Amino acid sequence: MSDAARIPLLVLGLGNVLCGDDGAGVMAIHRLRRGWEMPAGVRIVDGGTLGLDLLALLAVSDRVIIVDAVRADAAPGTLVDVTGEEVAPAVYERLSPHQIGVADLIAGASLVDRYPSEVLIVGIVPAMTDLRLGCTPDVAANLDALVDRVVAELGARGYPPVRRSVPCGPSDDGARALGL
Amino acid sequence: MTHIVVDPVTRIEGHLRIEAEVENGSVTNAWSSSTMFRGIELILEGRDPRDAWAFTQRICGVCTTVHAIASIRAVENAIGAVPPPNARVLRNLIIAAQCVQDHVVHFYHLHALDWVDVVSALSADPAETASLAQSISDWHNSSASYFTAVKARLKGFVDRGQLGPFANAYWGHSAYKLPPAANLMAVAHYLEALDWQREFIKLHAILGGKNPHLQSFLVGGMATPVDPSSQSALNIHTIAALKSLIASAKDFVRRVYIPDLLAVASFYKDWAGYGAGVGNYLVYGEYPLTDGKDAPLYLPSGVIRDRNLGKIEKLDTSKITEQVKHSWYTYGKGDDEALHPSLGETKPSYTGPTPPYERLDTSAKYSWLKSPRYDGQPMEVGPLARMLVAYGSGHAQVKALVDGALGKLGVGPEALFSTLGRVAARGLETALLADKMGDWVDELAENMGRGELRIHDNEKWDPSTWPEQAIGAGFHEAPRGALGHWVSIWRGKIARYQCIVPSTWNAGPRDAKEAPGPYESALLGTPVADPEQPIEILRTVHSFDPCMACGVHVVDRAGAELAKVKVR
């Protein structure tokens, strides 16, 4: 892969938008895209529940911030993060509701010697992952905080996003996530 | 008698539980249960039918394109939209690409570990591995130094404890029959297939946009512009890129996948005697070769009963029903009813035990999957069904591929009705489609050449052109088998939506007549050497390529340990 095709910093939203808070990460990256302009070098991708299909992206990314619903012993809506050597075991132990896909993705990148130099999971604790388009109130109330966390992490890595004066795209998180 | 519970079945998307009784080293009874509810249908009611595909595409990360295709076909069928030739060809390419990629990933990354002992590969002699590899294929990566490097890489993972997908397997189990050299060759190709699939997936980016979820579907056609002289459309350059990706797929499938499949199968011929299942097969058919209604299909539709390849019945979709006697749903007119999906109901009614539990009461309701039936009978769907119906219909290319493989293994057509037959059929279908895809690219190029650039039928786009009530069905052969979506539209909105997904056909529970579903049936007679390590059960279940995510919903297993995470 030539350097031109490399992605210096990938922001990858994961989760199923039809399953309540499971889709929080995807909702968050669409909200990020709507409200913030990204500097060159950052690519935002809605990975849904694609799992191994995302290997092509991960393999050309230098650093990755995964935004996802993460189960933890904490109140719904709490922000959590997982990094370094905790990433692989964390996703392997059913951390995320679609863990099989994420575990395969992480392992796959490692197996083909394409593991990014940094993988950070910025997560939010879900309350409910049953069939529902959109997050529950506790999680929805903290989606902006989740977006702010991603913005801060981007800034800390030398890629500060710029807040848009006029948000772009529909205001409904679900419609944005589905591309409607 | 030993009662075995496999829960969850690993290396699949979603949640599947198998309970089995084992007596004298073989399965005497089995139950397949999906323990999570999804019910996507409920979220679609009241929505614009032209948007339905965007929702159904998100049902499952493994099968995004397939639910989009079935959905747009169902709505087109209801409102009478006819996609133009370019849209048909683009869809064929997307469908075939999904199938080729999915089958390769299933074989190497999900199913191979049931047959290949990764730990044994560590004791392989690279020189011996090289001569084995060179004896079955002229693939370039086959030198002793190449396999030495792969072995070192594998040893690195094991030494660092980074087993990842290789963890939690039954390494060293007596049911593994490959010599160390064959195991090392398979591990090398497992890694190569990972690299191959991330290149091949670029085909979807060309056809469907940069977003990993294809955005190019549209009721009435496709949204991908076709114009040889435009930079932002499918043009002469993209035709060349498609051709090169397809050529590399053909190469990988012909020189790696198929030789590996035959090599592995030759050590497991006894598995041609296990896993037959219900012996009935159903295929909706796929890859329309012309436009409009009743177009001929490259892979024909049809039904086979009682393994009779001499009689391919014409498919009549009005004979499809779903039953819920053993499913956690209720029907308005009673649970012994059999409802056609156009009149289907999705009313959840969980009566199972509170998790965690040891056993399901299989005399009552025991699964979140319904029991689909054709003319009252259980049917297997998937690559084996497709290859059998095509074979029985006299499809020349399928016949050549199937007979060639049977000849190389020295077995007759009866070997197809088995766990091994299912694995082989998937590989042969991959080869068939990789060969065929080039024709569709040529067709696209020819259309461009004569100025046929239409991609969409606008005539029925406006809901004011629709009747007050419209009913339609969309049929598709997904990698895992026959997929159907049924939609009822009332005054421009979805009034009812039902999906029957391949894994529901295959993994569904017993019906009102207590007839077992295909998994349940296929497990009968499966040998189990060690009830604590039932790898043989996984072989047969995985041979169907289960994907439970569409039928069901995944949540945390009760009692599952939460990994340590930092809380801010």
Active site residue B547: yes
Which residue, B356, B364, B373, B187, is CA-closest to B278? B373
Residues of A in contact with B562 (CB under 8 A): 71-73, 93, 95
Q: Can you say how many angstroms the Cα of residue B373 is from the centroid of all Cα atoms in its chain?
A: 19
Which residue, B297, B345, B322, is CA-closest to B477? B297
Question: What's the token pair of residue A24?
Answer: 């929080």
CA of A81 vs chain B CAs: smallest distance (Å): 6
Residue B163 pLDDT > 90: no
In the beta sheet, which residues pair with residue A122? A67, A81
Question: What's the token pair of residue B143?
Answer: 């030198």
Catalytic residue among B17, B50, B67, B496: B67
Weakest mean pLDDT among B44-53, B212-221, B295-304? B212-221
Across chain A, how many H-helices and E-strands are there?
7, 7
- Residue pair B11/B110 in contact (Cβ under 8 Å)? The answer is yes
At B298, phi and psi to the nearest 5?
A: -65, -40
- Split at pLDDT 50, 70, 90, the class of B61 is low
What pLDDT shows up at residue B370?
94
Contact between A111 and B194 using a beta-carbon 8 Å cutoff: yes
Q: For chain A, what's the residue count?
A: 180
pTM beyond 0.90: the answer is yes
Angle between helices B85-105 and B419-449 (to 10 degrees): 150
Q: ∠ at Cα B540 (B535, B545), nearest 5°? A: 110
| A180 assigned to some structural domain | no
Active site residue B13: yes
Nearby residues of B467 by Cβ (< 8 Å), 6 or more positions away: none
Contact between B212 and A108 using a beta-carbon 8 Å cutoff: no
Contact between B64 and A52 using a beta-carbon 8 Å cutoff: no
Mean pLDDT, chain B, rounded, equals 91
Going along B285-349, which residue ranges are E strands?
Answer: 286-288, 297-299, 302-304, 320-323, 338-339
Question: What's the average model confidence in pLDDT over B26-52?
Answer: 86
Contact between B191 and A178 using a beta-carbon 8 Å cutoff: no
What does the alpha-carbon distance between residue B5 and residue B242 come to, in Å, rounded to a whole number?
46
Contact between A49 and B11 using a beta-carbon 8 Å cutoff: no
What pLDDT shows up at residue A1?
43
Residues of B in contact with A132 (CB under 8 A): 43
| A77 assigned to some structural domain | yes
Residue B559 pLDDT > 80: no
CA of B54 vs chain A CAs: smallest distance (Å): 6
3-class secondary structure per residue, B493-545:
EEEEEEEECHHHHHHCCCCCCCCCCHHHHHCCCCECCCCCCCHHHHHHHHHCC
Per-domain residue ranges for chain B?
2-543
- Residue pair B477/B31 in contact (Cβ under 8 Å)? The answer is no
User: A95-109 pLDDT, tens per residue?
Assistant: 444 445 677 777 788
The domain tally of chain A equals: 1
Choosing among B198, B214, B217, B556, which should be mutated to test the A contact, i.e. which has the most A CBs within 10 A?
B198
User: B377-405 pLDDT, tens per residue?
Assistant: 999 999 999 999 999 999 999 999 999 99
At A43, phi and psi to the nearest 5?
A: -125, 130
| A99 assigned to some structural domain | yes
3-state SS assignment for residue A126: coil
| A118 assigned to some structural domain | yes
CA of B99 vs chain A CAs: smallest distance (Å): 13
Which residue, B541, B546, B544, is CA-closest to B523? B541
CA of B363 vs chain A CAs: smallest distance (Å): 27
What does the alpha-carbon distance between residue B289 and residue B99 come to, in Å, rounded to a whole number?
17
Residue of A nearest to B106 (CA): A52
Residue of B nearest to A55 (CA): B198
Please give the interface size between A and B, counted as residue pairs whose CB atoms are below 8 Å apart. 155
Contact between B198 and A79 using a beta-carbon 8 Å cutoff: no
User: B185-206 pLDDT, tens per residue?
Assistant: 999 999 999 999 989 988 988 9
Residue percentage of chain A with pLDDT more than 70: 89
Q: What ipTM was estimated for this complex? A: 0.86
CATH number at residue A97: 3.40.50.1450
Q: pLDDT higher for A23 or B284?
A: B284
Structural domain that includes position A166 = 3-175
Active site residue B503: yes
- Residue pair A59/A112 in contact (Cβ under 8 Å)? The answer is yes
Which residue, A100, A58, A90, is CA-closest to B195? A58
What does the alpha-carbon distance between residue A18 and residue A49 come to, in Å, rounded to a whole number?
11
What does the alpha-carbon distance between residue B323 and residue B452 come to, in Å, rounded to a whole number?
46
What pLDDT shows up at residue B212?
76
Active site residue B15: no
CATH number at B2-543:
1.10.645.10
What pLDDT shows up at residue B568?
44
| Residue keyed to tokens 């998994």 | B519
Residue percentage of chain B with pLDDT more than 90: 78
